[in-house]
Structure 1
Amino acid sequence: MEVKTEAVSQLEYNSLREPLIIPEYGRHLQKLIDQVTEIKDKEERNKAAKYVISVMGSLNPHLRDVPDFQHKLWDQLFIMSDFKLDVDSPYPIPSREVLNQRPEILNYPQNFPKYRFYGNNITYMIDVAMKWEEGDLKSALILVIANHMKKCYLSWNKETVEDEVIFQHLLELSDGKINLFKTNEELSNSHNLMKVNKKVSNKSQFNSGNKNTNSKNHKKKTNNNNTKNHKRN
């Protein structure tokens, strides 16, 4: 009875254990690194650290000889030792400050544009056009942008649209710097642009229809072959 009581008293509960720094390696490896950290002789500590690296690499044997992967293992070794391990590393030793450093905030695109049906790419194209020098190339680019805006508008509206509406939107999106009202330019016919949109949608439907037809034909052939083999047997 005393032996059983003593054995129970030696049990460790997860609630009493320290949390694992990198749980993927397990608690046994974490304890091994803690023991290596407490070794007083630096030469022995270096040998033990290399042994721990080999154990960590054995979990991914196809990657353990890759230089980048070796660098990652050494970084993880120092992280799991809570940066207390003093050994000679073949790579720069990471620091706690660098690990906890937050990345810079990304500049996300405009989330709520005034005319969503044009998309963010139109805004980028307009910004590029405004930076170009005056000339035929810039005029041609602006006309291409306006026609693309008209096509996007028709995809969303499904009806005809006057060129003046597109000119007004372009004027607003360019902060008044691109004004096609002053020119005699005319955009492509709405009917022709709608034909292009229909062709694109028909192609996508045709491709999806072919996939479904091919899958159905494959299933029919498989069922027929299974039926023939069953009759032969």
Structure 2
Amino acid sequence: MEYNTQKNKLHLPEYGRIIQQLVERCKQLSSREERSEMAMAIIDFMGQRNPQLRDEENYKHKLWDHLFILADYDLDVDSPYPFPTREQLAEPPKRMEYPKLQGDFKFYGKSILQLIEKAIELEQGDEKEALIEVIANNMKKSYNVYNKEHVTDDVIFRHLKELSENRLDLTGIETLEKSKIYYTTNNNNRNNNNRNQANNRNQSNNKRRHNNNNNNHKNRK
């Protein structure tokens, strides 16, 4: 009996030994045309065995790279993509540059900066003012969540002016109603208060009716 430890090393274990053996068989074919034809068939088989790869970008290119790795970087076939080298795959990935936010305003997030740039590009009008209100609303929510404290509109306006490098100033837009900032939350609170008051009134009325009914019943007795 032959154990796995006695067999050739699997270069990519996720593909299994069957595909590894097919690749070894492909390398042994004498004709480049035959090798290329078999390599295409192996690529199709690899795609069927790993359908999740099809959801990735350039998955065909990735399969050809995997085929070359399975062949231990020694496969003479016609490929639609250039084969990688050992050195390229051994090279560590480049360090990712994290976005840098201005000053101490990291809690606003990168999306706020992108929205600010979009608002700056827009011409003066209703669309620009509506976007500015959305930006200020989200800034206020982010500030309250991060700092766990209430913030006034003036602070948000000052931060917005600084983040936009003085290119966006809420105080300079006459038609913008500052009361709209955080308007949804205020409305929700107001609606909840009204609903609670109505429930309290209903409970009081029901209790009063119950007491009156009891009194009438006693009087009849």
Query: Which TM-score band applies after superposition, normalised by the shorter structure?
Result: 0.5 to 0.7
TM-score w.r.t. length of structure 1: 0.50
1:169, distance to aligned residue in structure 2 (A): 0.9
1:165, distance to aligned residue in structure 2 (A): 1.3
Pick closer, same or farther for the CA change 1:164–1:25 going to 2, 3 Å. Answer: closer
Q: Is the 8 A contact 2:11 2:70 kept in 1?
A: yes
Q: Is the 8 A contact 1:109 1:120 kept in 2?
A: yes
Deviations 1:187-217 (A, max 9, x none): 1267855435769xxxxxxxxxxxxxxxxxx
Query: Counterpart amino acid of 1:34?
Result: E
Counterpart among 119, 130, 133 of residue 109 in structure 2: 119
Q: Is the 8 A contact 1:56 1:73 kept in 2?
A: no
1:155, distance to aligned residue in structure 2 (A): 5.0
2:45 partner SS? helix
Pick closer, same or farther for the CA change 1:154–1:72 going to 2, 3 Å. Answer: closer
1:13, distance to aligned residue in structure 2 (A): 8.6
Corresponding residue number in structure 1 for 2:131: 141
Corresponding residue number in structure 2 for 1:92: 80
Taking the aligned partners of 1:149 and 1:48, their CA distance within structure 2 comes to 58
Taking the aligned partners of 1:150 and 1:189, their CA distance within structure 2 comes to 12
Corresponding residue number in structure 2 for 1:162: 152
Corresponding residue number in structure 2 for 1:222: none
1:177, distance to aligned residue in structure 2 (A): 1.9
Q: Is the 8 A contact 1:37 1:85 kept in 2?
A: yes
Pick closer, same or farther for the CA change 1:187–1:85 going to 2, 3 Å. Answer: same
Query: Counterpart amino acid of 2:13?
Result: P
Pick closer, same or farther for the CA change 1:108–1:145 going to 2, 3 Å. Answer: same
- Aligned pair count? 181
Deviations 1:29-80 (A, max 9, x none): 54564354244x327x8279739946983995797xx9x9998766644432
Counterpart among 121, 140, 155 of residue 131 in structure 1: 121
Q: Which runs of 5+ in 2 are unaligned?
A: 191-221
Corresponding residue number in structure 1 for 2:218: none
Pick closer, same or farther for the CA change 1:29–1:126 going to 2, 3 Å. Answer: closer
Corresponding residue number in structure 2 for 1:178: 168
Is 1:195 aligned to residue 186 of structure 2?
Answer: yes
Corresponding residue number in structure 2 for 1:225: none
Query: Counterpart amino acid of 1:177?
Result: R
Corresponding residue number in structure 1 for 2:210: none
Corresponding residue number in structure 2 for 1:46: 34
Corresponding residue number in structure 2 for 1:231: none
Taking the aligned partners of 1:127 and 1:118, their CA distance within structure 2 comes to 14
1:149 partner SS? helix
Calculate the aligned-residue CA RMSD, in Å: 5.0
Q: Is the 8 A contact 2:46 2:63 kept in 1?
A: no
Taking the aligned partners of 2:168 and 2:43, their CA distance within structure 1 comes to 65
Q: Is the 8 A contact 1:22 1:80 kept in 2?
A: yes
Percent identity for Structure 1 against Structure 2: 34
Q: Is the 8 A contact 2:24 2:71 kept in 1?
A: yes
1:126, distance to aligned residue in structure 2 (A): 1.0
TM-score w.r.t. length of structure 2: 0.52
Pick closer, same or farther for the CA change 1:183–1:13 going to 2, 3 Å. Answer: closer
Name which structure has the greater RCO, CA cutoff 8 Å, separation 6+. Answer: 2
1:125, distance to aligned residue in structure 2 (A): 1.2
Q: Which runs of 5+ in 1 are unaligned?
A: 1-6, 200-233
